[in-house]
Chains A and B, each alone.
Chain A
């Protein structure tokens, strides 16, 4: 078992999803049970499904000095930075610590592949990209990390994590290690993923996409709704008491089972949970709210419901928020970390929308209706292809 870690302060955080830009839009949607899903209108021949699409990306123009990075994913990354004063908070950290002392760890599953897909529809007679598309810094997974590093003027350690749907949750773990070792004084973490043909037609080929808005944990659920999102958090050493929420623990583990199907008993997910609790120095009954991975795929929800039912007391409020945002893949970790942080901040624990009849696998923890309560500690689960699991635990600041 890992040892407890010194908590880190989360001095700024934000998310931009299909329900709108920034925390206010997200909190409002969560409290009013408003879904951001719409009938799929993405691409030339849309599949019959629902998507969580972010408005305005088609019209968005990057500033001139960043124009070479243009693609849908980097546009969403830029849009996300504008919300909740995050750009200013990152700039303040840069001034306070120095640009080289602020790490940047971002997660994405497909980064700019949508732009690569676009370039393939316009190849020249020699089978090459059009000259304007021959951009090595765009057509690569680290495009996201390099773009945001340029946008924020940071020069510290920077990497892009790509472990499918756990990517941006794992960014918290990597950043905590760099700060603990003194390799950075602060870190911007988060992730961005955008809708593209690869994921829409890819998940469709696996028969994992629902023709209707996704219904997490519903007995009749029939697949996921894909979405896109950007989200960020700024991590610093906790230091003296503050009202800022804290990163208390994280756990990372592998299923060792199958590339696209979870371990039948959820053993990898449980190991991630146990490691997160150990690093936080907490027992499971200390968790007030769980933001579940809850994709509405048959297998994920069955396994995750079983895990929550056997490990948590009945009073723990658990829900999936995929019905609000869609499954934002590599960005799901940061989006749901932000939702968990909002629960700490507002006391509102979201429900599970679109679903009407919970599967028999679900224990009393899984709730369809949102509820208000005292929320001191929260858990966020993120699980990805390749059997990649990450659990994050956040808590209220010492002075809260």
Chain B
């Protein structure tokens, strides 16, 4: 297969789940050097949002903005300058449940705020508004390969435009009748900045390509990551475990039943 994909660099890995609220905690747990927090953390209150919106924001927006802010801070970059690619398999499942339940009972009572929060790009919309970012923003979905698809989109954009980008993935719990058809547990969000050049903040370099044929999803290895495998963003876990271990790694992240994103990950001191 011919392709021309340049080596890219990861800065500022960020992670949030109720049991692993922050990259330092997650990294230690993935390395077997720390434990998940108990009791689990409550949902974050990202500083990017105005105080009133911090309380009103849907869970999906709260966790997505939390890791986005952490990634950009750890990368030492300005959020306003970074094109952003957000990836979520399902968007905000609680709002979908509200919308469908209201439409089935009293459709004319639908809340306008819930409606505009129901768009898949609500989280990236709030992020660009909160950070004054006028660069391109995207919101993508690819079922069980959603983080991999977001990574492919982000890496492609970074490579084509020669500009660092923010990649943020998130998914939340399925609730209500929808939970009988859509399976996603708990809250999980993860983010990183992908840059075209190595910087003093780079934590890893990666080469990347597509591999045709069925790919077995890599199972998360640590108990702390395995406990999050029921979330629809679980395809991000093996990559973040590899970043936590800080060793060279070959990853095949399934994009579908027929195709994988292959990463050769090399840690940078």
Contacts and interface: CB of A to CB of B under 8 A. Distances in A.
A160 interface: yes
A253 B108 CA distance: 33
A174 interface: yes
B104 interface: yes
Contacts of B140: 159-162
Nearest to A45: B107
A126 to B, nearest CB: 8
Contacts of B122: 259, 385-386
Contact of B96 (A113, A156, A205, A388): A113
A385 B101 contact: no
A388 B121 contact: yes
A197 B107 contact: yes
Nearest to A128: B180
In this complex, the member of B3, B112, B115, B135 whose beta carbon has the largest number of chain A beta carbons within 10 angstroms is B115
A99 B177 CA distance: 37
Contact of B117 (A170, A173, A259): A259
B181 A198 contact: no
Nearest to A385: B119
Contacts of A116: 96, 100, 178, 181
A267 B134 contact: yes
Interface stretch (B17-25, B36-44, B151-159): B151-159
A134 B125 CA distance: 31
Nearest to A127: B177
A2 interface: yes
Interface string B133-176: 11111111111001001001100110111000000000000001
Contact of B107 (A159, A177, A201): A201
Contact of A145 (B83, B142, B159): B142
Contacts of B120: 109, 141, 162-164
A257 interface: yes
Interface string A252-271: 11111111100000011001
Interface residue range, chain A: 35 or more
A285 B22 CA distance: 51
Interface string B238-260: 00000000000000000110110
A149 B149 CA distance: 15
Nearest to B91: A141
B216 interface: no
A206 interface: yes
A142 B89 contact: yes
B135 A254 contact: yes
Contacts of A386: 119, 121-122, 124-126, 128, 137, 139
A326 interface: no
Contacts of A267: 134
A307 to B, nearest CB: 14
A334 interface: no
Nearest to A250: B136
Interface stretch (A14-22, A32-40, A180-188, A337-345): A180-188
A100 B259 contact: yes
A159 B142 contact: yes
B250 to A, nearest CB: 18
Interface string A139-170: 11110011001000001111111111000001
Contact of B255 (A123, A157, A201): A157
A133 interface: yes
A50 to B, nearest CB: 18
Nearest to A257: B129
Interface centre among A109, A123, A140, A163, by most B CB within 10 Å? A140
A56 interface: no
B135 A140 contact: no
Contacts of B138: 161, 163, 170, 174, 252
A45 B105 CA distance: 12
B148 to A, nearest CB: 10
Nearest to B143: A142
Nearest to A252: B136
Interface string B176-200: 1110111100000000000000000
Interface of A: 2, 45, 99-101, 109, 113, 116-117, 119-121, 123, 127-129, 133-142, 145-146, 149, 155-164, 170, 173-174, 177-178, 180-183, 197-198, 201-207, 252-260, 267-268, 271, 275, 384-388
Interface of B: 1-5, 80, 83, 89-91, 96, 99-101, 103-104, 107-108, 110-112, 115-122, 124-126, 128-129, 131-143, 146, 149, 152-153, 156-157, 159-161, 176-178, 180-183, 209-210, 212, 255-256, 258-259
21 contacts: A117-B100, A120-B104, A128-B177, A140-B143, A141-B89, A145-B142, A149-B256, A155-B256, A159-B142, A159-B152, A162-B141, A177-B159, A177-B160, A183-B5, A201-B107, A201-B115, A204-B110, A254-B136, A259-B116, A275-B136, A384-B121
Given A157-B259, A181-B160, A182-B2, 15 more contacts: A116-B100, A120-B101, A162-B140, A163-B120, A163-B137, A198-B100, A201-B108, A252-B83, A254-B125, A256-B131, A256-B133, A268-B134, A385-B119, A385-B125, A386-B139
